[in-house]
Amino acid sequence: MAIKKATRGATPAGNSAATTEQLVEFYRQMLLIRRFEERAGQLYGMGLIGGFCHLYIGQEAVVVGLTACANKQDTVVTSYRDHGHMLACGMDPKGVMAELTGRSTGYSKGKGGSMHMFSREKGFFGGHGIVGAQIPIGTGLAFAHKYKNDGGMSFAYMGDGAINQGQIYESFNMASLWSLPVLYVVENNKYGMGTSVERASASPDLAGRGEPWKIKTMTVDGMDAVSVYEAGLEACAHIRAGHGPVLMEVKTYRYRGHSMSDPAKYRTKEELEKMRSEHDPIDSLRQTLIGLKVTDEEGFKAIDKGIKEIVLEAAEYSQTSPEPDPSELWTDIVVAA
Amino acid sequence: MTTQILMPALSPTMTEGKLAKWLVKEGDKVTSGKVLAEIETDKATMEMEAVDEGTIGKILIPEGTEKVQVNEPIAVLLAEGESASDISAAPKKAEATKEAKAPAAPAASAPKAAQTAPEPTETGGKTQTVREALRDAMAEEMRKDERVYLMGEEVAEYQGAYKVSQGLLDEFGSKRVIDTPITEHGFAGLAVGAAFGGLKPIVEFMTFNFAMQAIDQIINSAAKTLYMSGGQMGCPIVFRGPNGAAARVAAQHSQCYASWYAHVPGLKVVAPWSAADAKGLLKAAIRDPNPIIFLEHEILYGQSFQVPENDDFVLPIGKAKIERQGSHVTIVAFSIMVGKALKAAEALAEVGIDAEVINLRSIRPLDIDTIIASVQKTNRLVTCEEGWAFSGIGSEIAALIMEQAFDHLDAPVARVAGKDVPMPYAANLETLALPQVADIVEAAKAVCYR
Ligand SMILES: Cc1ncc(C[n+]2csc(CCOP(=O)(O)OP(=O)(O)O)c2C)c(N)n1
Ligand SMILES: [Mg+2]
């Protein structure tokens, strides 16, 4: 995992659990995700990325805040909206972008694409295209942590649309029954494709879905990385102490369409504009950093520049890397016994 | 260097679109995320946002223009310090992907066996039921490998719905022999996650009929993830349980799923008949690094066979066994149909037809070479399965033989299969629906033109 935990002697930021060093790192990570996604959108527009491509723009604070609570042996699963999670896990932007363009140097050698990427090394177990299917898998990773007694826990992310899949409740039941170390995160961005939460869920209280299974529940402002981080610390402490799973609903918002071809007719421009101008996670953290006199204009410029270089390099790499060799068609179907 | 803004593709199928409206004009400063224009695609009107910062230097395509090709420059963006005079008009187009022909499947990854190891000896040993052989296979592998565990409905305290896991809870404890709630989709997915996480789960389905609840996890997660991850995410897991028709339990509890799973690259499908098959193949399945569908049969659980006593008796997956040598007709069968095929062979011998009976043991990979070698000798083939003929295992074998041994056939391949109806409950109808020894005898006579 990429972000260091608070170390003793570091400077606390106001009365927050995060240090100022961490805040700068949150800012950097969120900006990296945003710039990466914008560039991916552009490459899609150029026809270099095909098929479905789901951008994470607007939701950056969620994965950045929570990944800061993770340890090295922890594992992560999420849906197809996965680029942000991979970058936060410390996966190489070049390898992620090259997978998006379907090149041999991508994380899945070009055979998985935007929705299906993995890195055992970074504890990232996908990238899953079937809505909800990652949740039993994340629960199984938690089962394996407990079975092996390796001290790790599992982070299992899902959308507000996914929460209505039956297998989620099958997982909640087993995770609670067996006290598995798993943090379930519902990234409530208000819509599953074009269907709002109100039109899909009988009760809008999605965290409440954990209660029948005696799962600890939390609701968090997902547009603020520090709130997410603090909630994550509390959740992870509960889980690591062996008290079983936590279900955290994180209220967030996606700025772009569901995937690249979504004109987003189901919401108003005003709704989007209001979120962008009043609740943007990157802008607000920037204001915090200015208020705390941690970073000045020059400092931000340097961060911007560094990130722009990383993303441009990734974009370049994703276009100059070769396509997979035709012989790759026939590899990785089964492991040789 | 100035940056060209290109006409974007805004859907997976878009090749051209209308530049409906410009929302910026020349000289405007833009930042990342600012909406530049409205574009009408083949499906909808979409907004196009800026990726780079700068000043709009020149608009190349006026609003209202139809049929603007994807990747055509539509405007030029100037960076700080640049002016309109820096604009050069060299359009950059993405190269179209070249048409390519798929390479032929290399022998090793084609869905057939590449096994050359000699078959372990199966003579001698003790008499065991299939049920005991399965239990011993699990127990032996669990003793050897701490990562192997068993989960499923009623596998622990109840000792197995069909008593296959008898005694395992006592020996291995509740950490490794786990009663699950009735939640097939959930525990199948959980076990897949555990396999990704380094364990080697054995998942018992009370019967394979209920695995339909879990088939998404089996196929989309267990079978495909290795490929989608470029080889990183192996999934060593065994899904096992009774498959096919039990007795008098009607349509929802009596179906053969062999062809369903055999269809899927990434899975291996195994179907033992005898107790020796059951033991040797289950041990191989547990050791195998891939997802395995292990199709047992309730009617066989109580049947006894000789099983080698050797603790390391393992049968290769992907290798068929010739159960009876013969020269006039080849009968291919798996699971319970092997017993029926052997009975048919005895009946055929009485009328002077010498049948060779092949026990497939594995369905994917399929040991087509053994079948071809037999057909080269007998020139006649009958396939047997409990499942429906349509898109069945027999259909697949017939197609392979047609492709690879056409010249050796003296008669069309005959398929003996379950009747094309949901399984009826009434005893007489059930017997009619299932393939019987007499059906095999008749089919074998027919292909021998007798
Ligand atoms: C089982 C399944 N059904 C339908 C789809 C098509 N689909 C893909 S994403 C999606 C919406 C999911 O929304 P949500 O869970 O809120 O996640 P978000 O896209 O907002 O991140 C749908 C219906 C799918 N991929 N899998
Ligand atoms: Mg959503």
Per-residue confidence band for A3, with pLDDT thresholds at 50, 70 and 90? very low
Each domain of chain A, given as residue ranges in start order, spans: 25-321
Which residue is associated with the tokens 């997976």?
A: B12
- Asked if B182 is an interface residue toward chain A (Cβ–Cβ < 8 A), one would say no
Residue numbers of A between 51 and 70 with CB closer than 8 Å to B: 51-52
User: Is B103's Cβ below 8 Å from some Cβ in A?
Assistant: yes
Is there a single domain that holds both residue B133 and residue B272?
Answer: yes
pLDDT digits (tens, 9 = 90+) for B51-67: 888 999 999 999 999 99
- If one compares B83 and A38, the residue with the highest pLDDT of the two is A38
pLDDT number for residue B199: 98
Does residue A80 or residue B70 have the better pLDDT?
Answer: A80
Please, is A49 exposed, middle or buried when counting C-beta atoms within 10 Å of its C-beta (0-12, 13-18, 19+)?
Answer: buried
Strands B148-152 and B200-204: parallel
pLDDT surpasses 70 at B309? yes
Tell me: the pLDDT tens digits for A177-200?
999 999 999 999 999 999 999 999
For residue A4, the model assigns a pLDDT of 44
Question: Do the chains contact at B194 and A144, CB–CB below 8 Å?
Answer: yes
Distance CA A185, CA B14 (A): 35
Extended strands (E) in A17-91: 75-78
Last residue within a domain, chosen from B21, B47, B82: B82
**Would the CB of A58 count as within 6 Å of ligand 1?**
no
State the average pLDDT for chain A: 95
Residue A5 has pLDDT above 80, yes or no: no
**ipTM (interface pTM):** 0.92
Same domain? For B147 and B242 the reply is yes
Same domain, B159 and B232: yes
Of A200-204, B122-126, B287-291, B419-423, which gets the smallest average pLDDT? B122-126
For the record, the structure tokens of A62 come out as 């969620």
Which of the four pLDDT bands, split at 50, 70 and 90, describes residue B81?
confident
B158 and B272 in one domain? Answer: yes
Inter-chain residue contact B288 with A52, CB threshold 8 Å = no
pLDDT for residue B114: 45
CA distances from B185 to A132, A143, B189, B250 (A): 11, 16, 6, 23
Judge whether residue A220 has pLDDT over 70: yes
Substitution target from B148, B185, B232 for chain A, most A beta carbons within 10 A: B232
- Tell me the pLDDT band of B44, cut-offs 50, 70 and 90: confident
Query: Is the residue at B93 inside a domain?
Result: no
| Residues with Cβ within 8 Å of residue B36, at least 6 apart in sequence | B5, B22, B23, B24, B30, B48, B49, B50, B75
Ligand 1, pocket-test mutation among A55, A63, A193, most atoms within 8 A of CB? A193
Share of chain B above pLDDT 90, in %: 81
Domain identity same for B77 and B157:
no
Residues B323-339: tens digit of each pLDDT: 999 999 999 999 999 99
Q: Does residue B109 fall inside a structural domain?
A: no
User: Which residues of chain B does A110 touch, with a Cβ-Cβ cutoff of 8 Å?
Assistant: 230
Residues 109-128 of A with CB under 8 A from B: 109-112, 116-120, 125-128
Of B32, B192, B266, the CB nearest to A334: B266
Our count of domains for chain B comes to: 3
Which residues neighbour B140 within 8 Å (Cβ) at sequence distance 6 or greater? B283, B311
Helices (H) and strands (E) in chain A, counts: 11, 8
Domain final residue pick, B255, B272, B307: B307
Rounded (10°) CA dihedral A128, A133, A136, A138? 20
pLDDT on residue B116: 45
Q: What is the average pLDDT across A5-9?
A: 44
**pLDDT score at B99:** 61
Whether B413 is in a domain gets the answer yes
Output the residue whose Cα is nearest ligand 1's atom 3: A131
Q: Do B399 and B442 belong together in one domain?
A: yes
- For residue B72, the model assigns a pLDDT of 92
Round to whole Å and give the CA distance between B63 and B421.
62
Does residue B250 carry a pLDDT above 50?
yes
- B187 within domain boundaries: yes
Element (H, E) at A155: strand A154-159
Pairing of strands B177-179, B237-242: unpaired
- Regarding whether B157 and B235 lie in a shared domain, the answer is yes
CA distance B262 to B366: 9
User: Can you give the pLDDT at residue A87?
Assistant: 98
B303 and B326 part of one domain: no
User: Is the same domain home to B405 and B360?
Assistant: yes
Residue where a domain stops, chosen among B82, B114, B141? B82
Confidence at B209, pLDDT banded by 50, 70, 90: very high
Least confident segment among B103-107, B292-296, B440-444, B446-450? B103-107
Query: Comparing C-alpha atoms, which of A178, A14, A11, A165 is closest to residue A79?
Result: A165
Per cent of chain A over pLDDT 90 is: 93
Question: Could you tell me the pLDDT band of residue B96, with boundaries at 50, 70 and 90?
Answer: very low
pLDDT given at position B120: 60
pLDDT in tens, A121-149: 999 999 999 999 999 999 999 999 999 99
A81 Cβ closer than 6 Å to some ligand 1 atom: yes
Domain range A25-321, CATH class: alpha beta
Is B98 among the domain residues?
Answer: no
Check pocket membership of A200 for ligand 1, CB cut-off 6 A: no
- Whether A335 and chain B come into contact, CB under 8 Å, resolves to yes
Q: What pLDDT, on the 0 to 100 scale, is given for residue B98?
A: 53
| B336 and B359 fall within a common domain | yes
According to the 3-state scheme, what is the secondary structure of chain B?
A: CCEEEECCCCCCCCCEEEEEEECCCCCCEECCCCEEEEEECCCCEEEEECCCCEEEEEECCCCCEEEEECCCEEEEEECCCCCHHHCCCCCCCCCCCCCCCCCCCCCCCCCECCCCCCCCCCCCCEEEEHHHHHHHHHHHHHHHCCCEEEEECCCCCCCCCCCCCCCHHHHHCCCCEEECCCCHHHHHHHHHHHHHCCCEEEEECCCHHHHHHHHHHHHHHHHCHHHHCCCCCCCCEEEEEECECCCCCCHHHCECCHHHHHCCCCCEEECCCCHHHHHHHHHHHHHCCCEEEEEECHHHCCCEEEECCCCCCCCCCCCCEEEECCCCEEEEECCHHHHHHHHHHHHHHHCCCCEEEEECCEEECECHHHHHHHHHHHCCEEEEEEEECCCCHHHHHHHHHHHHHHHHCCCCCEEEEECCCCCCCCHHHHHHHCCCHHHHHHHHHHHCCC
pLDDT per residue as tens digits for the range A287-309: 999 999 999 999 999 999 999 99
Q: Do residue B436 and residue B402 come from a single domain?
A: yes
According to DSSP, the residues that pair with B30 across neighbouring strands are: B54
d(CA B290, CA B226): 9
Average pLDDT over residues B306-333: 96
- Structural domain including B186 reads 126-307
Shared domain for B250 and B282, answered yes or no, is yes
Task: Read off the CATH number of the domain in which B193 is found.
Answer: 3.40.50.970
Q: Which B-chain residues 254-313 have CB contacts (< 8 A) with chain A?
A: 265-266, 268, 284, 287-290
